[in-house]
Structure formats: structure tokens, C-alpha cells
Amino acid sequence: MAALLEVNNACFAYQDKRLILNNVSFSIEKGDIFTILGPNGSGKSTLLNCITHLYSLTAGEILIDGKDVNHMSPSQIAQKIAYLPQSTLVTYGYSVREFIVMGRAPHLGIFSKPKQEDYMLADETIAMMNLTHFAHKPVTHISGGERQLASIARAIVQKPELILFDEPTSALDYGNQMKALRMIKRLSEEGYAVIMTSHNPDHAILLGGAAGVLSRTGQMETGSVDEILEQERLSELYGTKLQIVYVNEIARVACLPESL
């Protein structure tokens, strides 16, 4: 049986011909968590954009349930994959509820609008995620953390099998970062496959599962978090001395910088 997502020898270059992704390969099954680490400009977001077919690969292939993404319509892709970009800018003040029900778009035709069951699904998700207190506020007038939660709710309403998070913690304070990571972990426990990009190797350790380390040359090494997060590899990747240490007080390994 085909994997939920298969990336085979993916290569991508922008118009300047510099190779951003260089023979990247990995696969994802339902319920997997896969964290992509890498320095700024290493192509983490580009890889997610290729998976959702916002960008087309220059070589290689991406298969969703065995189907080449090049031969899938935008709605077929969106029925399988939800993507939460780093920031969601909205011009008009739709209510959070209206914003969340937009997640039903891949399942509706050009001349359709959401039906009662679509609004019911949105209302259930709002209640289950405890968003009721701001569900009727304009999406333009809520905090960054609340908008992140609303975007996650919209992704759930989309009913995908794989959710992509592009640096979901980058604009959040420490408390909200942990909340977002807990939410991602829980989504994976519910059966969603999750791919997340991050600048913080400790987030990969907290989430567990598998990780990919994307270097500036566009090559990606993959493996379980325990295997792949070695201090030499990370120190070289980020150009700074890092230590992977076991911290007795919290009973887990953590990734810490040696000094400034």
C-alpha cells in the first residue's frame, strides 16, 4: 500500500538556478510527526510549498497516496493536505467562525456555499478547541496566538490527512509556543500526519517522531529524532556550538547552546 506522502529525489531551483532542494527523499504515514530543521534560507518553506504544489519540482516526484501531485487538482490536494503558513494575513474582518468554515472549500464546488452540516462541523471544532469566546470576533481583531488557533481549527474542518505547519511557533511567546506544540502532538495522536518546520531543535525533541535536517546545500538527512539530532551535526548546521544533554530535573534530553 502506498505511503500517505512520498517525496522521491526532489530537486527545486528558483530562476537563479541555485539548487534549493537537492535530491530530498522521505515518506510519511498516517499519525507520523516529521520535523524539518535547518538554518534560515535552507529551503524548509520551499519544501512545504512543493508538497502542496504551490511550486513545481525541477526534478523528482511527490506522491500523495501514490498519486503524482502534478496530476492532482488543487481541490484534490487540499482534501488530503492542509497547510498553515507562518502568518495568515486577512484583509476583511470575517468572523472567526466564517474564517473557520472556509476550510470546507476543497469539498465544495465553485457555485456552492457551506451547508448546515459544514457550519455544524465548524461549530463542533470551535467548541472542542475552546474558541467559543472569540468565534464571533473579526479575524482581523484577534491576537496572533488566537489566529494560529483559528487557522488550526480551519485545517481540522478541512478534514485532511496531513497537516503542514510552517514555523508555527515563530511569532508566539513561550507559553503559546508550548500550547501550539501540545496541539500538534495531539493532532498526531488523533491520527493526522504532521510535518512541521522549526528553527529550534528542542521542538523536534519535544515532539519526538522523525526529523529531517536540511542543509544550505539543499540536501536532507532523515531519521528518528534520537538518531538525527547529534550535537556535531547540529553545531555544523547552525554554525554555533550546541550540546545535546540529558537534564535530570525534566528527565529528557535537551538541545542547548554552549555559550554566546
Partner 1 sequence: MRNASATIYCEQGRKEAMHNKGAIKTRKLPQDRSLGRIMLVLSLGVMVLAIAALALGRYYVSLEEVVRILGSQVWPLEQTWDQTMHDVVMNLRMPRVVAAVLVGGALSLAGATYQGMFENPLVSPDILGVSSGACVGAAGAILLGLGNAQIQVFAFFGGLAAVSLTLLIPFLMRRKSTIALVLSGVIVGGFMMSILGLMKYIADPETELADMVYWQLGSIAKVTYDNLFNIAPIIIISGMVLIMMRWRINILSLGEEQARLLGVNLQLERGVAIICATLLTASAVCLSGTVGWIGLIMPHIARMVVGNDNVRLLPAATLMSAGFLIIIDTAARTLTGGELPLGILTGFIGAPFFAWILIKQRGII
Candidates 206, 136, 148, 137; CA nearest to 176 is 148
Q: How far apart are CA 98 and CA 101, in angstroms?
A: 5
Q: Is 6 in the site for partner 1 (CB under 8 A)?
A: no
Q: Out of 159, 179, 199, 216, which residue is the one contacting partner 1 (CB under 8 A)? A: 159
> Smallest gap, in angstroms, from Cβ of residue 150 to partner 1?
13
Which grid cell sits at 2? 502506498
Interface stretch with partner 1, choices 11-19, 21-29, 150-158, 241-249 (CB under 8 A): 150-158
Q: How far apart are CA 211 and CA 225, in angstroms?
A: 5
Q: Is 229 in the site for partner 1 (CB under 8 A)?
A: no
Strand, coil or helix: 2:
coil
Interface stretch with partner 1, choices 88-96, 170-178, 204-212, 225-233 (CB under 8 A): 88-96
> Smallest gap, in angstroms, from Cβ of residue 217 to partner 1?
27
Closer residue to partner 1, CB minimum distance, 31 or 39: 31
Q: Is 23 in the site for partner 1 (CB under 8 A)?
A: no
Helix and strand totals (H; E) in the chain = 9, 12
Q: Amino acid identity of 127?
A: A
Closer residue to partner 1, CB minimum distance, 175 or 191: 191
DSSP E strands in 151-251: the ranges are: 162-166, 193-198, 210-214, 220-224, 242-247
Q: How far apart are CA 228 and CA 119, in angstroms?
A: 43
Q: Is 87 in the site for partner 1 (CB under 8 A)?
A: no
Q: Out of 61, 98, 146, 230, which residue is the one contacting partner 1 (CB under 8 A)? A: 98
Q: Out of 18, 111, 175, 239, which residue is the one contacting partner 1 (CB under 8 A)? A: 111
Closer residue to partner 1, CB minimum distance, 115 or 252: 115
Contact partners, residue 50, CB within 8 Å, separation at least 6:
10, 12, 21, 56, 57, 62
Q: Is 156 in the site for partner 1 (CB under 8 A)?
A: yes
CB 44 within 8 A of CB 243: no
Q: Is 30 in the site for partner 1 (CB under 8 A)?
A: yes
> Smallest gap, in angstroms, from Cβ of residue 96 to partner 1?
12
Strand, coil or helix: 74:
helix
DSSP E strands in 218-259: the ranges are: 220-224, 242-247, 252-257
Q: Out of 41, 66, 93, 257, which residue is the one contacting partner 1 (CB under 8 A)? A: 93
Q: Is 137 in the site for partner 1 (CB under 8 A)?
A: no
Site residues for partner 1 per CB under 8 A: 30-31, 52, 54, 73-79, 82-83, 85, 88-95, 98, 102-103, 105-106, 108, 110-114, 116, 119-121, 123-125, 127-130, 132, 138, 156-159, 161, 186-187, 190-192
